[in-house]
Structure 1
């Protein structure tokens, strides 16, 4: 039988765990021990009903299967210019340079009134309210100063969640969303009794390796070396 040593923090955590249980079963206690020894943090990916040994393992496996994210491309367009070659008359905000054209806005005069009345840079007051002052020009030479070249749409690579279809700026953001919203923590002791979910193949191998009878016996033998565990060890031995 292989020897096993339980000391330090792990010993203290086992004592605390056993003291908190109304009836400490050997298998549950051993699974708690494995969880702490191997730093396991099992999670369930509820959508696929699969249990992984930790969140990073879930990310790796789901990514391998192409079920986490897809790289895609979006077009970032720009709105039509405020002024163009066909504009004959413009209305200009003297505080910000905002401009409205007679052929690019359905009601440019009302628009400029509304703009200057709310403009943060407009500090001029008239009758207790902001002054409705603005400029008007029909001079082609003035108008052409406001004509800007049309910007072509640009492409940007982004990532979409394979689960929801939502777009994210980076792959890391998709992963963070996946960990936060789609993985549910589960105690290792609960994995054994699950009927709705099943362990991933790699996790199942770990279970099979660690749940060998000789390993459980070595665990009990290691606990028996400490007086604090004697009541529990005696109870488990009597139940066999």
Structure 2
């Protein structure tokens, strides 16, 4: 016969068995160890090969000689990159992108990424029907891209990939709010009022009206401010993933 004390102790032990088994099962399924997350910056074909005339609504073809992007931070889980680095993303990489950093991470799945961009310099030219316009624009528009929509899976002792994708075509959108904007360059070309060269300067853009471009509710008074507004939309994640 069990005493009341013995009976109580035995019952408590039996009740704890399922909980102990459940905890053991959960621990067995949890990933262990660390893996490495390789972070790349990629401008896609529109940066590496240029934007062809048939992709533009007004027939201008864009070629980028240089596209320098400063990445100031990347955060995934408890891992963070904060060594501001400028990467030139115009050289071709056959779809690989340019390596930025390695982040050691506990094995597991991460549903959100934050990163920030600083200075962006865009150098290139646009051509239509024998007319060529050149540009060399530096934008100081620090932008944080938060809660980027992607899923990063890190496995123990394995390397995974994360891509910060730069959408250069946004520079030439004709709207800040449309879900289906057209790509245009004609207004930017028309801003060049210097007969001595074909370069479109910041000063010329600051003196030019936005014309028919759709600014939405933004207070934008000239084409330089227009480009700055578009620069803040360049960043995506893993291709088409969006960020706040």
Q: Same fold (TM over 0.5)?
A: no
TM-score by length of 1: 0.17
Higher relative contact order at CA 8 Å, sep ≥6: structure 1 or structure 2? Answer: 1
Considering fraction of residues, name the structure with more helix: 1
TM-score by length of 2: 0.17
Considering fraction of residues, name the structure with more strand: 2
